[in-house]
Copies of this chain bind each other. A is one copy, B any other.
Amino acid sequence: METKKNGTEAIPYKIYLDEQEMPTHYYNVRADMPIKPAPLLNPGTHQPMTAEELSGVFCTELVKQELDNETREIAIPEEIRNFYRMYRPSPLVRAYELERKLGTPAKIYYKFEGNNTSGSHKLNSAITQAYYAKNQGLKGLTTETGAGQWGTALSMACAYLGMDLKVYMVKGSYEQKPFRREVMRTYGATVTPSPSDTTEAGRRILAEHPGTTGSLGCAISEAVEYAVTHEGYRYVLGSVLNQVLLHQSVIGLEAKTAMEKYGIKPDIIIGCAGGGSNLGGLIAPFMGEKLRGEADYHFIAVEPASCPSLTRGVYAYDFCDTGMICPLAKMYTLGCDFIPSPNHAGGLRYHGMSPILSELYHEGLLEARSVEQTRVFDAAQYFARIEGTLPAPESSHAIRVAIDEALRCKETGEEKTILFGLTGTGYFDLVAYQQYNDGTMTDYIPTDEDLARSLSRLPKME
């Protein structure tokens, strides 16, 4: 099989942009949204968070980006573009072998973000957040990590810039994923299992629940406390926020440029959705065209059946964290004390969804589907054996639906062009693959009663 033709243009297996074709500006989809995402609210006053209030937690330039609903293009500083050049542009891959094995007339492309040591797209925002913090003269950053992709990405960014980093890692993950911890330590981060005795919040939880293996909510509380009680530190977050989706727009911008170079127009664009940073970044410039009435695309957000914020949650103001210390965000949520079952896609175990994506979904501009993890791993293994790359469990949600759509095309004979986001690799998820290989993996689906319970505790808004 020679490299195939689409129209007059030969399309290679992998399309790499030249460095001069890489984006020089982030694209801010909010500028094109007629209805803007709802603002973050102060949890005490229920009034929109001001720039001043946000500056206690985030650094100044990022607060500006968080609140900016108007500027369409925001320049990427030269230093960040140099960092990007070490691992970007990421390839846009034509899945010829997968198409052939499926026997589908569909054309399948994926944007692969796993070719860097953090193993995912998280690095795109980590370097930007660290850069602005450094530029402001800050000494260090704090964050929490569960599955570990975000903590690893931020460790890499801080190592590069010579900044200090304190990572609070959910104790259960700290113990089960010692290798993730070691990668972060290799990049110079201090990794503390949470809850710990290094913060008030941690000590309180340890006293109340001796022997607990922790939670993301608790780790966030500790990381925020460390930042606000130490001079020269700020807290950073790897998803959900507007600023993070802004930085992740590089994924979509590169994908769009690469496709246009070869005259390809996707019909369906698919991404997994936890907090929404990858999906939001991948679809951003395409959604912009749709919002401006210049083109139409079918967007699909894929979430785990075990944590179905879009498909079974409500659109309401809720806390971003379990500890209820962060601002309120209007988003699709399962309730901030919803405890997701131990699904292996740790990056998708979040009770809420980015306010930008929530608003777009609310307006019917994207579809959402939820899938069970055994079906996700069926797709993951199938994909790995055919296309080579071992996908992360999170990314495999998108693979699952891309295969479903390609098989539908096989039935109907439609030659649709499918683009999905392959956000990362599964090197640190082999406990999950082992369960799958052993046939001991199970599915978890919350009952209606579970959801009613956690949703009954949403904050009361007047």
Answer whether residue A385 sits at the interface, using C-beta atoms and an 8 A cutoff.
yes
Answer whether residue A1 sits at the interface, using C-beta atoms and an 8 A cutoff.
yes
A102 to chain B, nearest CB (A): 15
A385 contact set on B, CB distance < 8 A: 156, 159-160, 186-188
- Per-residue interface assignment for chain A, residues 92 to 134, with 1 indicating a CB less than 8 Å from any chain B CB and 0 otherwise: 0100110000000000000000011100000000000000000
A180, closest chain B residue (CB): B430
From B19, B182, B187, B388, contact of A117 by CB (8 A): B388
A425 contact set on B, CB distance < 8 A: 117
A20 contact set on B, CB distance < 8 A: 3
Alpha-carbon separation in the docked complex, A159 to B178 (Å): 29
Q: A87, A97, A388 — which one has the most chain B CB atoms within 10 A of its CB?
A: A388
Alpha-carbon separation in the docked complex, A2 to B87 (Å): 16
Answer whether residue A341 sits at the interface, using C-beta atoms and an 8 A cutoff.
no
Copies in the complex: 2
Given contacts A19-B3, A185-B437, A433-B186, is CB(A388)–CB(B86) below 8 Å?
Answer: yes
Given contacts A86-B388, A156-B388, A384-B187, is CB(A1)–CB(B182) below 8 Å?
Answer: no
Stretch from A9-17, A198-206, A311-319 forming part of the interface with B: A9-17
- Per-residue interface assignment for chain A, residues 1 to 41, with 1 indicating a CB less than 8 Å from any chain B CB and 0 otherwise: 11100000000111010111000000000000000000000
Answer whether residue A387 sits at the interface, using C-beta atoms and an 8 A cutoff.
yes
Answer whether residue A454 sits at the interface, using C-beta atoms and an 8 A cutoff.
no
A60 contact set on B, CB distance < 8 A: none
A117, closest chain B residue (CB): B390
Answer whether residue A386 sits at the interface, using C-beta atoms and an 8 A cutoff.
yes
Answer whether residue A85 sits at the interface, using C-beta atoms and an 8 A cutoff.
yes
Alpha-carbon separation in the docked complex, A160 to B20 (Å): 35
Q: Is the CB of A1 within 8 A of B82?
A: yes
Given contacts A1-B82, A12-B18, A19-B13, is CB(A389)–CB(B187) below 8 Å?
Answer: no
Q: Is the CB of A183 within 8 A of B390?
A: yes
A14 contact set on B, CB distance < 8 A: 19, 85-86
Answer whether residue A136 sits at the interface, using C-beta atoms and an 8 A cutoff.
no
Q: Can you list 25 residue pairs at the A/B interface with Cβ under 8 Å? A: A1-B82, A3-B19, A3-B85, A12-B18, A13-B82, A13-B85, A14-B85, A16-B16, A82-B96, A82-B97, A86-B388, A87-B388, A97-B160, A156-B388, A159-B384, A159-B386, A178-B430, A182-B430, A182-B437, A183-B430, A186-B381, A186-B437, A187-B384, A427-B427, A427-B428
